Structure 1
């Protein structure tokens, strides 16, 4: 009924509340996994309505629930994902140091799950996120070390010469750092590689 009133895909507090209530009911019945799917939908809607800060409180609840399900110290992809989401929110709010603490926890967990040196998209993504934060904090050289690790992993996953959006993005990020550091020639070489790849993709 609420969806019929406000729109099937319209973010609305009443719809978010209903999704949350259904989550509570499934949780009460002991089906935590089903509860999480409703909580995640509610959370996504709350974030769209209220923004990052409100979302953090919901992500924190979600993280707490996942730890209760899988174990407080268990390495699990869902827990790593929650840590990453909280990091994204803090980054959106401009607190890059706080974001890094969550990204680092997520990265550590992903490495424990998939292997310390195993090329994995989730690990590459975490490295990229941490690089972006260091870049915003003004430490371009530190950012480059993370971007380079991410780039190396992406090439290992998708192919050394395969045009891929993630590789193009990493090349562009490294170019941005060299540009900030005043080495325009080096920046151009990365931008050119990124441009060539994006043209091949699109």
Structure 2
């Protein structure tokens, strides 16, 4: 047994009322059932099972290791902070690394790249552009090009995204397509495809937008196969539904939006605004296909979630 446990009932202040168990640090439990017994017993009843060797859990550990332990250096902590949307601490951390890390280190280029990501997530696209440009300049130095090939591709992806937010769609496409040609890492490639799709959508080229959204979805479904309620999947389904609607493929649109809605309802990350938007889209689509009852029901849900 990797995580032993023992009864400490004899040490409890309430030995007759509580069956206290001391579990090892790091013990993991799977929640089997949650029952509200407040009306009769005055408490909630949660049934759990200790998990040690579990395929789903091992897959999740592997996925988290790949996501937050892929750099093998101090950048992993900052990457995790960004993943938690803790941008203030992430910024302070990477600014500290920027100050104390010598440019002779091969990993130095990661630092301005991450700072660019932080500023982009905050909506400060000019500052994001400056740091991504700095990262690209470092990574394209002749002595380190071969070593940094996938990092260069990743930087082109984020530069393309920044150009898109700055309204420079042609430059956005140029940088994103370079990233694809350089064979970005899988997760960056999905992000690149998604950004290319959004850029084509904003250029009113819905056919190409759909092609690239589907490419992004194919990668996302494989990478996130153990997490079918991941919010990124909901976003991609929603985007594809929007494009299908523009192309008057209303049945396809409603199918993708239904998938997006299921993820938003069952996942752990959803807002009323997210739900309202999807319900609204479904309501309009059902109206176009003359399914009036479904249209009214979804519009009502949209208003209820605003």
The question of a shared fold, defined as TM-score above 0.5 by the shorter chain, is answered with: yes
**Counterpart pick for 1:26 among 139, 143, 151:** 139
Deviation, 1:31, is 4.2
Q: Distance in 1 between matches of 2:212 and 2:278?
A: 21
Are the equivalent residues in 2 in contact too, given 1:127–1:150 (CA < 8 A)?
Answer: yes
Over the residues paired in the alignment, what is the CA RMSD in angstroms? 3.1
**Counterpart pick for 2:176 among 46, 59, 75:** 59
Q: Distance in 1 between matches of 2:271 and 2:174?
A: 38
Give the match for residue 267 of structure 2.
157
Give the match for residue 178 of structure 1.
286
User: CA 1:163/1:42 → structure 2, altered by over 3 Å: closer, same or farther?
Assistant: closer
Cα deviation digits, residues 38-59 of structure 1 (max 9, x gap): 5456434533555323311111
Q: Does 1:46 align with 2:163?
A: yes
Are the equivalent residues in 2 in contact too, given 1:80–1:110 (CA < 8 A)?
Answer: yes
The higher-RCO structure (CA 8 Å, 6+ apart) is 1
Pick the structure with more strand per residue: 2
Pick the structure with more helix per residue: 1
Is there any run of 5+ residues in structure 2 with no aligned partner, and where?
1-123
User: CA 1:18/1:175 → structure 2, altered by over 3 Å: closer, same or farther?
Assistant: closer
Task: Give the count of matched residue pairs.
Answer: 179
Q: How does 1:117-196 map to 2 (within 5 A)?
A: 118-158=228-268, 164-196=272-304
TM-score, normalised via structure 2 length: 0.51
TM-score, normalised via structure 1 length: 0.74
User: CA 1:182/1:108 → structure 2, altered by over 3 Å: closer, same or farther?
Assistant: same
Is there any run of 5+ residues in structure 1 with no aligned partner, and where?
1-8, 71-75
Aligned residue for 1:138, secondary structure, equals coil
User: CA 1:168/1:78 → structure 2, altered by over 3 Å: closer, same or farther?
Assistant: same
